[in-house]
Chains A and B, each alone.
Chain A
Amino acid sequence: MMLPVVLAATAISTAALSHLASTDPKRRRVFHLPAPRRRHAGAAWAASLAPGAIVAVVSGAGGLFVWLGAVSIIGWALASARPRRAPRIAGVVENSDPL
C-alpha cells in the first residue's frame, strides 16, 4: 500500500511543481520568455504539498520521508532543466567542470 500511495502523491506533486517551474516569473525573465498570463501560485504550491499530508496519514512517517526526498530531487531536476524555448547563447562549449 505504501509505495502506490507515495508514487501517486509524488506524481501529483511533480505536476504541480512542473507548473510552478514553467510559470516562475524570475525563471522566465532570466531566459527571456514572456511573463505568464496566470500563475495561481498559491493553488499550485498547495497542490504540490498537500499530497504529503495524505501520504503521512495513509503511509506513515516512512512514506512521508520517501515522498519528501523524491519531491526534493524531482523539484531540483525540474528547476535545473532550461526552458525549451529559451534562446541559445552562441559559443557555449562544455568545459571541464565536474558537473
Chain B
Amino acid sequence: MSRLSQAQLRRLTAIHGWSGITLGLLLYTVIATGTAAVFGGEIGRWSAGGIRAADPLEVPIDARIRAAATQVDPAHLDDIAIWTGEGRDIYAFFHTHAENPGTGAPDDLGTILRLDATSGEFLERNEGFIWDQPAAWDGSALRRFLVDLHVQLYMPTPWGLIVTGILGLAMMAAVISGLLMHRHLLRDLFVAERPGGRLVSARDRHVLAASWSLPFAFVLAFTGSFLSFASTVGFPLLASIAFGGDDEAMSAALFEPPFAEDATPAPLADLDAILADSRAQAPGPVTFVEVARFGRADARVHVWHDPAAGGVLYVTNLYDGAAGTFLGRQPQVGAAPSVGGTLYGLMYPLHFGHFAGIASRTVWGALGVALCVVTLSGLHLWTRRRAGAAIWDGFARSVDIVAWGLPLAMLAAAWGFLLSAPAANPFVWTPWSFVAGAAAATIVGVVAPNRRSLLPRYRRLLGIACLGLPILRLAAGGMSWADAILHRQPDVLTVDILLLLAGIWFLRRRRRAGRLALEAAE
C-alpha cells in the first residue's frame, strides 16, 4: 500500500513496536476498562439500581426541587445541578463557588440531596466540596471505580489524565505507523489466522484485527487523548493565555451565553413546564438540568439532552429562569455555532458511543473488544518473534497474566462491591477487591508450571467469577428477576443473563482446552 524505503520501514517498525511494548499493557488496561465504561449506565443500574417506571427526569420534579431548596443553606442556592440516580432517585446539588482548600483551585461548595423523584422522600444529604466525595453523587461504587480506572488509571488528578492522554497519543502513533508499515492492507483484509499457532498466525491475528478497527482506533485514541489533555493542559493554558489565569471568566466566555446581570429577587418559573418545552424542542431524553442564579431575575436554566434519533451531538436548550421562556439552543462552545464548537462537541459522543442508545453502545463495546485484541495480539507477536530469550519469555507470561488478570480483577471488584454494599463502604472495598483479584491472578500466573497451563486456570476462575455474580447480587438484596420482568427493568436481567452465559462459555472452553492438550500429549 505504501512506498517506503527499507530504512524508513525499519524506523516505523521500531516506533510501532517499542511504543506498543512500553505502553501496551497500560493501553490494554485503559481500553478494557473503557469497554466496560461504555456500559456504565447498565453497570450502575445492575449494581445499584432500583425499580422505576420512568426515568426520574421524565416525572414532575418542580415541587421536589422547590421543597429541597428550603432544606439547604441559602448561601448554597446560587446554582442547582440536577441529574438522575440509578432508580427513581434524583440528585439535586445546591451550590456556590469557593476555593477548595484541598486543591487551592475554585470548586463547587454546597449541599447535595438525593431524593425520590416520585414520592419526594429525602434519601441522603451531603455537604461540602462534593466532587471530592464520589459516594455523595454516584450511587454505584463499581461503575465509579471502572470509570476512574479508565479515565485516569485510578491515579491522582491531574497525573492520571496526563498518563491516559499520553497513552492516547501512543495509540495514535501506533495506528499511523501501522497503517504506513502495512503494505498490503486491502490484500490481507480477509486472510484469517493461519492454523498451527505459528509466528505467521500471530501476525495474521494482529493485522486482521488492526486493519478492520483502524479508523475507530484512531477516532477513539484521538478523542480520548483530547479529553484527557483538555482539562489538564488545554483549558488551563487557554485560561492563562487569554483570560489572565481566570478560570471562571474562561468558562463563562466558552460555555455561558452573555446575560445582563440583575440580582433582583424573582421566583423560578415552573421547571416542569420548562422541561416539557425543552423535550418538544429536542426529542432526546433529558440527562442533566442546571439552574444558574436561582431565585434571581437573571436566572438561566440549561437543559441537556441526549441526541435525538440520527443525531450525534448532545443538545443544550437555554431558558430564562424567571420568565420560563426559551432563549435558544446553546452552541457547543462560545456564543454562536462554529466548526470548532461542533468538533469539540463531537469529542464526547464519539468517545463514549452514547449517541444512539444501546445500539451505538453495543457497537462501541465491540470495537473496544477489537482494540483489546489488537493490543494483546501485537504484544504477543512481539514476544513470539523473540521467543527463547529469557526476558521476552518472562514478558510474554506477564502479558498473559495482565490479559486474563484484568478481567478477573474487574469481576473481583464487582464481587467486592456486592459483598460490601449492604454493610460496609463499597467505595473503599471495591478498589481493594480489584487489588485482591489482580494479586490472585498474578499468583496464579506466576506459580503455573508453564504458559500453556495458564489458559484453563484463568478460564475456570473467570467462569466461576461470572456465574457467581448474579447469585451474589440477588443474595445481597438486589432486584429479583421476577421484579425485573414485572416492572420492565431490562438492564438488570440482561447483565445477569450475559454474566451467566459468559460463565458457562468460560467453563466449557476450559474443558475443551484441557481435552485438546490431552489429545496432543497422547
Contact = CB atoms under 8 A, between A and B. Distances in A.
Nearest to B198: A89
Given A69-B366, A72-B216, A99-B377, A93 B517 contact: yes
A94 to B, nearest CB: 5
A94 B516 CA distance: 7
Interface in A61-99: 61-63, 65-66, 68-70, 72-73, 75-76, 78-83, 86, 88-89, 91-99
Contact of B191 (A6, A27, A73): A27
Interface in B448-473: 450-455
Given A79-B212, A89-B196, A99-B205, A70 B191 contact: no
13 contacts: A1-B310, A3-B359, A59-B309, A62-B360, A66-B363, A69-B363, A69-B367, A76-B370, A80-B209, A96-B454, A98-B380, A99-B380, A99-B403
Interface stretch (B95-103, B182-190, B321-329): B182-190
A26 B359 contact: no
A96 B359 contact: no
Task: Report, nearest first, the 5 A-B pairs whose CB atoms are least far apart.
Answer: A60-B310, A98-B403, A76-B212, A69-B363, A24-B190
Contacts of B212: 72-73, 75-76, 79
B193 interface: yes
Interface string B398-428: 0110011000000000000000000000000
Nearest to A29: B191
Contacts of A21: 190
Contact of A2 (B309, B370, B451): B309
A62 B404 contact: no
Contacts of A93: 197, 452, 516-517, 519-520
Interface string B479-522: 00000000000000000000000000000000011001101100
B373 to A, nearest CB: 5
Interface in B218-264: none
B311 interface: yes
A88 B350 CA distance: 42
Given A68-B215, A72-B216, A75-B189, 4 more contacts: A62-B310, A79-B189, A79-B191, A80-B208
B310 A59 contact: yes
B517 A65 contact: no
Given A93-B517, A99-B380, A72 B455 contact: no
B446 interface: no
Interface in A31-54: 31
Contacts of A9: none
Contacts, number: 144
Nearest to A93: B520
B194 A65 contact: no
Interface residues of A, number: 43
A20 B186 CA distance: 12
A24 B208 CA distance: 14
Contacts of A59: 309-310
B364 interface: yes
B363 A70 contact: yes
Contact of B192 (A1, A75, A79): A79
Contact of B310 (A2, A72, A88): A2
B420 to A, nearest CB: 30
Contact of B190 (A3, A27, A61, A65): A27
B359 A6 contact: yes
A2 to B, nearest CB: 5
A92 to B, nearest CB: 5
A21 B350 CA distance: 29
Contacts of B195: 82, 86, 88-89, 92
Contact of A94 (B188, B366, B403, B517): B517
A78 B513 CA distance: 23
A96 B455 CA distance: 5
B520 A73 contact: no
B370 A82 contact: no
Contacts of A97: 197, 202, 380, 400, 455
Nearest to A7: B359
A81 B190 CA distance: 9
Given A70-B363, A73-B363, A76-B370, A95 B452 contact: yes
Contact of B356 (A62, A73, A76): A62
Given A69-B363, A73-B366, A99-B205, A82 B309 contact: no
A62 B239 CA distance: 33
Contacts of A24: 189-191
A98 B404 contact: yes
A96 B360 contact: no
A62 B311 contact: yes
Interface string B299-334: 000000001011110000000000000000000000
A27 B189 CA distance: 9
A97 B3 CA distance: 33
Interface string B348-390: 0010000110011001101100100100110010000000000
A89 B517 CA distance: 15
Contacts of B196: 89, 91-92
B312 A95 contact: no
B213 A76 contact: yes
Nearest to A92: B195
B197 A96 contact: no
